[in-house]
Amino acid sequence: MKKRRTLAVVLAAAMTAGMLVGCTGGGVKTEQTAAPTAETAKQEEKTEAESGATEAAKEAENIVWAGWSGEEEASKDIFQRMMDTYRKDTGNEVTWVGWTWADTAQQLLIRTQGGEQLDIAQVDIGIFNTVANAGVLADLNEVMGADYLKENFQESALAVGNIDGKQYGMPWSMASISMVYNPTILKEAGWESVPATMEEFEKCLADVKALGGDVIPYAVSTKDATCAGDFMPWLWTFGGSLFNEDGSVAVDSEAAVSCVKWYQDMLSKGYIAMDTGRGEARQLFAQGKVAFYDDAVVAKGQAVSNGVSPDDVIKVCSAMERPVLKEGDQPQSTMWGHMLVIFKDSEHKEAATELAKT
C-alpha cells in the first residue's frame, strides 16, 4: 500500500512538470527535475524570447513601392522619411523601385506582366487610366473600405480615381488646375474684382494691355503638352469636347471652331503670346510680368521662391474661377496631381494599405 502511494506521488509530480518519468527511476530523480534551478529558468526564458523574436520576424512583411518622385533630388528625402516612418510604425520593410516620370507607366505594366512583386505605386492623373485599364489594380473600396475613403477625401478627388464604381486610385497630391491672377496688376488696370464672364475677361485683358510695358495679359500655354491642358477647359467653356459620348471624335464641332477662333483673336490683339509653356508662364508670373495664367497650387510656391514674402504672396498671386461664356454656366477646370494605387495580385494588400495611410 505504501509502495502504491509513493508511485502515485511520483506520477503526479511528473505530470505537473510536463515530463514522463520511468517507473524504475525512483522518486528522488523526479523531485529534482520538477524543481528547476535558477540557471535552467534563465535558459527557458531566453529560449522563449528567441522563439518570440523569430515569430515576429516571420510576421514582418516586405512590400514594394514604385513611382518616380522618389528618384528626384527635390523629393528623395521626403520619400525616405515616409518609408522610415512606415517601418517604425509597422515593423514592416518597404523597398522603393523608381524610374523617370515618362517611363513609369510602361515600367509598371512590364513589372506586373512579368510577375515581379509590386504592391503599391504612385501614378500621375495622366497615366492612371493606362494602368487601370490593364486590369491590374485592386478596388480600394474593398481593400481600404469605402467609409474610410469617404471620410478622408472629397468626392471630387475620389472621382478622379473611380472607374465604373470601383475606386482604383487614392487621392494623394490632388488639386485643380484653374486660373491664377495678380491682384496688383488688376488694380492698376482698374479692376478691384476678377472678371466672371468671357465678355468681362476680354475687357480686363484689354485694360491690362493698355498699361503698356512688357506685361502679358494672359500667359495661356501655346506650346508643348501644357498647351492641350490649357485648351481643354476653354473648349469645355465653349460647350465643346474632344469626344462624343459614343467615343467618336468631336473636336471639329462648332463649339471647338469657336474656341480656336477666340484663341486667334486673343493672339491678334496681343492678349496672349506664342511659344509660352507652363514653365515660362510660372517664371514670368512670379516676376510680376503676367496678369493671368493657368496653374495648380504650386503657383504660390513659385512666387515665394522668386523672392515674394509668404505674407505678401496673396497680393500678387490669388486663385479665381475661370470666366464663363454666359452667366449661370459652370466654371471649368482640370484636375492635377498624383494618386496611390494597390495591385490586385499583391500578397501584401493590408501592409500596402498601411503605407498609403502613412
- For residue 353, how many other CB atoms are within 10 A of its CB? 23
Phi, psi for 332 (deg, rounded to 5): -105, 150
What span, in angstroms and rounded, lies between the C-alpha atoms of 24 and 68? 74
Contact by Cβ (8 Å): 168, 137: yes
Instruction: Please report, as a single letter, which amino acid is at residue 56.
Output: A
pLDDT in tens, 141-171: 999 999 999 999 999 899 999 999 999 999 9
Provide the mean pLDDT of the chain: 85
pLDDT in the model for residue 42: 58
Q: Would you state the pLDDT for residue 3?
A: 41
Nine cell digits for residue 275: 511659344
Nearest to 32 by CA among 10, 49, 61: 10
- Could you read off the pLDDT of 177-214 as tens digits, one per residue? 889 999 999 999 999 999 999 999 999 999 999 999 89
Total count of residues recorded for the chain: 358
User: For residues 53 and 83, what is the distance between their CA atoms, to the nearest angstrom?
Assistant: 23
Amino acid at 219: A
Range with lowest mean pLDDT among 33-42, 88-97, 103-112: 33-42
CB 192 within 8 A of CB 183: no
Distance CA 259, CA 238 (A): 6
- Alpha-carbon dihedral angle through residues 322, 327, 330, 332, given to the nearest 10 degrees: -20
* This prediction's pTM: 0.66
Of 4, 338, 317, 314, which Cα lies nearest the Cα of 181? 317
- The string of pLDDT tens digits covering residues 96-109 is 999 998 899 999 99
Closest CA to 278 of 231, 208, 209: 231
Q: How many helices (H) and strands (E) does the chain have?
A: 17, 10
Question: In this model, does residue 2 exceed pLDDT 50?
Answer: no
CA distance 175 to 228: 18
pLDDT-based confidence at 134, cuts 50/70/90? very high
Helix (H) or strand (E) holding 181: strand 170-181
220's grid cell: 495661356
Dist CA 21 CA 5 (whole Å): 16
What pLDDT does residue 161 have? 95
Buried b vs exposed e over 30-55: b needs ≥16 C-beta within 10 Å? beeebeeeeeeeeeeeeeeeeeeeee
Predicted confidence (pLDDT) per residue in 301-319, tens digit = 777 877 888 888 888 899 9
Average pLDDT over residues 289-306: 85
Q: Which residues are 66's β-sheet partners?
A: 97, 121
Distance CA 37, CA 32 (A): 9
